[in-house]
A = this chain, B = another copy of it.
Amino acid sequence: MKLGSLKSQSLDGELCVISRDLKTAVKATHLAPNLREAMEKWSQLEGSLQQIYTDLNNGKANGAFAVKESDFHSALPRTWLFADGSAFIYHIRLVRMARKAALPETLTTVPLMYQGECGQFLAPTQDIPQRDFSHGTDFEGEVGVVTDFVPMGVTPEQALKHIKLFVLINDVSLRGLIPEELAGGFGFFQSKPASALSPFAVTADELGAAYKEGRVHLPLNVTFNGEFFGKANAGAMHFHFGQLIAHAAKTRDLAAGTIIGSGTVSNEEQGAGSSCLAEKRMIETIETGAAKTPFMKAGDTVQMEMFGENGQSIFGRISQKVKSV
């Protein structure tokens, strides 16, 4: 099943079911006004939503309309918690090398995680605002999961059962602000402004065999200014999503609608490319002694998309441009 949030008067948008081929949609606001509220009663609504999805795919849904991705918000336009992990160890190694920061002693045993802005995600086709080029605007391509209510103290295995939906995330990062901010000791804040999600969120069955052991084993296709930038496989997570959820829930319940991010998808393999500029810059530095690729400037564009084995776009596309404000 695929779900989306049609732009509307409400900041939450309107709950829609989207066809498997992303060509048609139908409102499901008679079940819940928006996806955020639907997450609170997921077990009650899932069957009805699934029925609408079946009807829609069979061309039998009343009120179906053609999808225009720019009419949709981020799949979940706003929610209660965005706990962003960093589960790709190769990414951590490269970005810490880039800012000459030490690796944590618990690198492979305790997930890194911070709490990100989730009160107003950018739409998937919305411009990324840039107040100052020196902020070092970067994209980070991630996979995320959306949970129902998760009780404090959940185990990683139990946590996997709380994953209800998957999304893509462009976790916008301001590299120029990170060193000073982290030196203060309180972690990211200004350096992690509003991110964007993919237009559509999907259930695990849409990923088929690619979803196993708490990881999505598919490449994340990233293009930068229209050219190939990365196709790193998201299955390379060191910690799986169950472990990330359990980490987040160690000392708190997680509200229904919580988004857990994978961290920047990253593979060490040659040819996989990268899912953020910081990595590419560090690889350039290692290979040539200096970073050549600048951070994003006004007019630069980034696209993120993931395709199923049949070549079908799973989540729709994140496609954003940097704009000076």
Contact = CB atoms under 8 A, between A and B. Distances in A.
Interface string A8-22: 000100000000000
B186 A114 contact: yes
Contact of A252 (B101, B193, B250): B193
Interface in A111-153: 112-120, 129, 131, 135, 152-153
Interface class of chain A by DSSP: loop
A188 B189 CA distance: 11
B255 A78 contact: yes
Given A118-B80, A129-B152, A255-B119, A185 B184 contact: no
Contacts of A325: 152-153
Contacts of A79: 119
A251 interface: yes
B152 A114 contact: no
Nearest to A105: B183
A64 to B, nearest CB: 31
Contacts of A253: 120, 194
A66 interface: no
A73 interface: no
Interface stretch (A44-52, A156-164, A174-182, A288-296): A174-182
B255 A186 contact: no
A231 interface: no
A244 B280 CA distance: 35
Given A118-B80, A255-B119, A185 B186 contact: no
Contacts of A255: 11, 78, 119-120
A265 to B, nearest CB: 18
Given A104-B183, A184-B110, A189-B248, A117 B115 contact: yes
Contacts of A152: 129, 131, 325
Interface string A80-107: 1101001000000000000001001110
B184 A106 contact: yes
A163 B117 CA distance: 20
17 contacts: A11-B40, A83-B189, A101-B185, A104-B184, A106-B184, A110-B180, A112-B185, A114-B187, A115-B116, A115-B189, A120-B253, A129-B152, A131-B152, A131-B153, A153-B325, A182-B187, A187-B187
Given A119-B257, A129-B152, A135-B251, 18 more contacts: A78-B80, A80-B120, A86-B186, A114-B187, A115-B115, A117-B252, A119-B255, A120-B253, A153-B325, A182-B185, A186-B187, A187-B187, A187-B188, A187-B189, A189-B248, A190-B251, A191-B251, A194-B253
Return the 5 tightest CB-CB contacts between A and B, nearest first.
A187-B187, A80-B119, A119-B255, A193-B251, A104-B184
